[in-house]
Amino acid sequence: MKKRGLIEMLMATFIWGSTPLMSVFSNLPSGVFVFFRVFFAFPFVFYFVIKRVQFKELLKKPFLPLFLSGIALGVNWIFFFWAVNVVDVASAVSIYYLGPIFSTLLAIWFLKEDGNVYVYFSLVLALIGAFLAAGGVKFSKEIVIAFLAAVSYGLLGFFSKIATFYHRAIIVTFWQILISMFLTAPFLWFANWQFSSQAIFVSLIAGIIHTFLALLLWYDALNYIKVSLSSVLQYLDIVFAIILAWIFLGQIPKTYQLIGAILIIISGVLITFKELKYWNESIGIWRRREGSK
């Protein structure tokens, strides 16, 4: 069974690693691409959710954390797919994975989680990695877009963490997809884009395969492998994205970009273990409280 979980998790990370290619191949503005991606994914996600939870759970309060995490997801994807269309994938994806570092800092500042040398060392390591990853592109509007993708990724992680205090992860995902669809719908009228069969086909694949199927694989994999392992394996997204961009887009990464990506992966793994320790302690406290009632 563990083997099944590993295979499913590797498949999910490979699919997510190929998502930047879908954005490039669609030839759509990022906001429009995000809309079609979530639009095509939503019916499948909705069916998946109602088969697993009661409908009344979807309306459970508080709603504000769900709303904020949904806004964060939409903004995050808009900036990320914008970034992969204006800079090379290696730089965009590596910088993007500064997000978990920002999320941890926000949790330390606003949720009063413990911050220590361990965390700040990871931050410094990640910033050095981001500097190297962006080394092939001088500081510009394009690099700012990539950093905004990372910041919005951090906000997504922060608001998702708060939302999961009150709601199951699958419900958080449902609302994030739905809210993102409404958030990006205006791009259909205000963005400069052209309807084409290629754009719709690629967006359809991105919705069904890169959103719904990947989530399905990820959720099922968690039944067979530990969260700690899945959290580390998610950083294979960077590896797969760089390799696929090399093969299909001819974007050969520079040595310093690879070093930067490795540093960001290491810092992310360190932060992951810190986060898991926090969650284990929190769950232990909650269980002790429940047991004393």
pLDDT value at position 256?
85
Q: Report the percentage of the chain scoring pLDDT > 70.
A: 88
Domain spans in the chain, listed from the N-terminal domain onward: 2-291
Task: Verify cis geometry, omega within 30 degrees of 0, for the bond prior to 62.
Answer: yes
Cα distances (Å, whole numbers) of residue 156 to 139, 208, 255: 25, 22, 30
Q: What is the DSSP string of 70-99?
A: HHHHHHHHHHHHHHHHHS-HHHHHHHHTTH
Q: What is the pLDDT of residues 22-42, one digit of tens each?
A: 999 999 999 999 999 999 999
Taking the C-alpha atoms of residue 237 and residue 239, their distance in angstroms, rounded to an integer, is: 6
In 10 A of CB 173, how many CB atoms? Answer: 23
Q: For 199-219, how does the pLDDT look when each residue is reduced to its tens digit (9 = 90+)?
A: 999 999 999 999 999 999 988
pLDDT score of 123: 79
Q: Per-residue pLDDT averaged across 165-193, rounded?
A: 94
pLDDT digits (tens, 9 = 90+) for 38-82: 999 999 999 999 888 888 888 888 999 999 999 999 999 999 999
Reported as a single tens digit per residue, the pLDDT across 216-244 is 998 888 788 776 677 777 888 999 999 99
* pLDDT number for residue 146: 92
d(CA 159, CA 151): 12
Q: At a CB cut-off of 8 Å and minimum separation 6, what does 109 contact?
A: none
Instruction: Give the contacts of 44 (CB within 8 A, at least 6 positions apart).
Output: 207, 208, 212
pLDDT at position 290 over 90: no
CA dist list (Å): 91 to 11, 57, 65, 84, 187: 23, 40, 31, 8, 26
Secondary structure (H, E, C), 196-250:
CHHHHHHHHHHHHHHHHHHHHHHHHHCCCCCHHHHHHHCCHHHHHHHHHHHHHHC
Quick one: pLDDT at residue 148?
A: 95
Q: Residue 93's CB: how many other CB atoms inside 10 A? A: 28
User: Of 74, 44, 81, which is closest to residue 184 (Cα–Cα)?
Assistant: 74
pTM reported for the whole predicted model:
0.88
Q: Is the pLDDT of residue 8 over 60?
A: yes
What is the rounded average pLDDT of the residues 111-127?
75
Supply the pLDDT for residue 228. Answer: 63
